[in-house]
Every structure is written in structure tokens, then in C-alpha cells.
Amino acid sequence: MPKFNNYFRIPSVAGPEVLVIATPDGVETLNATASQIAGAPADSPPSGEFFAEEGAKVSRYGDRFFIGAASDYPALNTRDVERQDWLSSLMATTSIGPWALENAQAASLSRFGNSAFVAGSRTSDAMKWRDKLGHVPSTIGIASWGVADDTTNPTQATAYAYYGEVWRMPGVNYQPSFAMELEAVNLGGPAYGMSTPYHPNCGGGTYAIQIGAGGGQTEGTADCEAGIVFVSNPDSWKTGILFGNTALAGTNGDDGGYATAISMAQSQGIEWRTPETREHVQGLDAGAMLFSTVSQTAKGQRIQFADDGLLVTNMTGDLLFSISPNMAPTNTLNIQAGSGLAAAGLYVQKGENGSPNLGLYPAEGGEIQMSSPVASPGGAVPLEAEGGFLHLNVNGKDYRVPLFTAEQVGG
């Protein structure tokens, strides 16, 4: 028998090769193929180290890796195969086809309806092993990167750090479906401090989503375009952002309480873009905006849509003015500051089946007051009113107020 290792070496292991396996004490041996060994369950106890040069065992798998029901996928260079995993079979019934596992480097599909992949990390371990790691890492359950580095222009490649879909199949009507649910669980009681636009994170604060820009880089980066973008692909959303009636602390949506749905800093606002095109960009210009430049709470105002109408108050709730609802608003009232020849004032525009009248209705016993210097007090009243008469109706009685010119009364 030739000596061991004197045979011609094969270039690679295909699977049917026979290997001789011995127990650790060398008493028992077994012949097994390489594929049988690959199919045996792996049980490797931890070394207690993290880096390879310090004794940690690092396993490497150079090609594709399929776990659970994903192992049913044949991994061929075609989507037209007889045997498919359940996800590819389902995707094959749609217009987009079974692309998910065809492009996957590694995949895990649940065979029993359980969680296909679970990841977790603890800050206590990061602190415990900081001497071994050489630093205190950010404790991250799952981290992923999608790197756009194809400089071809134009290019068809798009980078996604994370992509997920949820499918609601026909006949599913009892439970909702979520593309993602992020739960923030606070088991530590109230947080120390309070999150504000000027101090977003407070000690002990628990946040479901934090969207940052820059990735912690200190140079070479630029501002990103938008934190959240809604698109149709090709279907549309019925609602962009929706707050459940009990989702915010302070109100259940049917009481006298108040909760903050969105909090912004001074000079941050909302704007509506116009559909017109400028510089080859549609929607480049804003047609309306809503924002605040109030610098102090005492100088601020509140707008409230109430059952009694539109209320404008100061920040302590004192009413500045209100607009009451009208069952048949056939007239339009303009409140205009004006400039140049357009004087400040109130303007009534007659609407369909409306009235040209401008009504002033003081409370019982109230007055209509105007303050203006009186010209030529005690002067003689002209016999004729060159400007005609102003028609007033007070408590149901018609009156005519003569309109004298400045030349008639002097001054």
C-alpha cells in the first residue's frame, strides 16, 4: 500500500470521496463520504476569544449558503426549474417572477412558519468585553450595507441597505400585514429629560426609528436628499402618515386632551410644491408653505379647528379672533392689509345667491367705535352731500349718513 499522501492530489472535493474518521481516542473508525460529513450537525463550543490571532475559531464559506426551506432551491442559472423552494414557487405566480433566491448569496427560509432569522446583541456584553475587543462597540442586532459604487453613467444598478416586502394574498381579511414593525419597549420607566427638536435624544429615551445622515463620517460626505420618501411602485398609498387615536400620550382622540404628533424647530415648516417645471425639474418651486419664526412662547399663537369655528389664540389660550362656521357661505370676506392704492380693510364679494351687505353685529348695548381726528369741529354743515349717502341698517331701521368732501367741511 502506498504511503499516505503519496497519491496524486485531486483539485477539489466533490462530495463522494471516502474519508476515514476516527474518534478522539482512536479506538473506533468510520468510512464516510465528504457529503455525509457536510450533512452532519456541527457543534463547535466557543473558544472564549474573538480575534483569530488570539485563538478564536473563524469558519469561512466561500460560496452560497442556504438554510431551512431555502435548501430546496437548486441554485441553478435559470428560474425555469422543476423543483423550487416555497418562496420562489410563490413568486413565480406573479408578474415579477422568482428573483429572490436566484440572486441570494445566503438565504434562510422557515420550514415551519417560525422566525426565519433572529439576531440580537447586548450592551452589557459590549461593556463586559471592552478590554478584549479594544473598544466599546455600538450594540447592533443587524447591520447591512448597500454600496453604490458603479460610476457608469447611466447605470441600472441601485443600492439598498435593506429591502423588504409583505404580501397579502387573496382571501386574507382577518389580520393586517406589515412590511415592517418596529417596537420600542421601555421597561425602565420615564426617561430622564425630554426629547425636543433642539435635543432629540435624552437619557434613557426609547425611540422606534432614528434616521441619521452621514454615517458618522467626519469628512468627504454631503447632505442627503430626504429622510422618508413615499413613492408608487406602481400602487399608491391611501394615507401617507397615520397616527392611531391612542398612539400618542395625552389624548385618546375623543377627549379634551392634547398630544404632539409632529414637533419641529423654529423656521422648519411644511411646503407644497407646484407641478410646473423649471430647470428641467418638475416640482422645483414651492407654491405654499407653513412655518413659524416665533422666537418666544409668549409671542406665539395657536390655531385650533373647533366645533365653534376657527380659533386663533395666544399660547396661553386667550382668544385673539375666531371665524364661525356658516351653513350657507355664499359670500367671501377678504381681510387685506394691502399696499399702495389697495387700502387695508374688509371686502365683501358677492357670491351666488349671496348678498353685498357687510354686517357688523355688536352685542346688546354694544357700540360700533371708530377713532379718527374730526376736521373743522363746530363748522357749518353743508346743505348738500357731494359724496352722496352711506346706507346703514341699525336694528332693522334704515339710515343715511351724508358723505361730505374735504372741501365741503374744510381741513
pLDDT at 1: 42
Give 106's strand partners: 65
Q: pTM of the full predicted structure?
A: 0.75
Residues 44-56: tens digit of each pLDDT: 889 999 999 999 9
Nearest residue to 177 (alpha-carbon basis) of 188, 195, 164: 164
Long-range residue pairs from 192-200, CB within 8 A, at least 24 positions apart, any chain:
196/263, 197/263, 197/264, 197/265, 197/268, 198/265
Q: Does residue 387 carry a pLDDT above 50? A: yes
358 versus 301: the higher-pLDDT residue is: 301
Distance CA 204, CA 210 (A): 15
- Please compute the mean of the pLDDT values over residues 81-106 and round it to a whole number: 89
| Dist. CA 174–CA 123, nearest whole Å | 39
Q: Give kind and range of the element (H or E) at residue 89.
A: helix 86-91
203 has which bridge partners? 192
Residue-wise pLDDT tens digits, 208-252: 999 999 999 999 999 999 999 999 999 999 999 999 999 999 999
Percent of the chain at pLDDT > 90 equals 54
- Predicted confidence (pLDDT) at residue 373 exceeds the cutoff of 70: no
Instruction: Say how many residues make up the chain.
Output: 411
pLDDT tier at 4, thresholds 50, 70, 90: low
**Beta strand pairing status for 106-109 and 65-68?**
parallel
- CA–CA dist 106, 368 (Å, integer): 81
Side chain identity, residue 20: V
Q: Which amino acid is at 25?
A: D
CA distances for 364 relative to 361, 368, 371, angstroms: 9, 11, 21
DSSP string for 2-42? PPTT-SPPPSS--S--EEEEE-TTSS-EEEEEHHHHHHSPP
pLDDT value at residue 331: 53
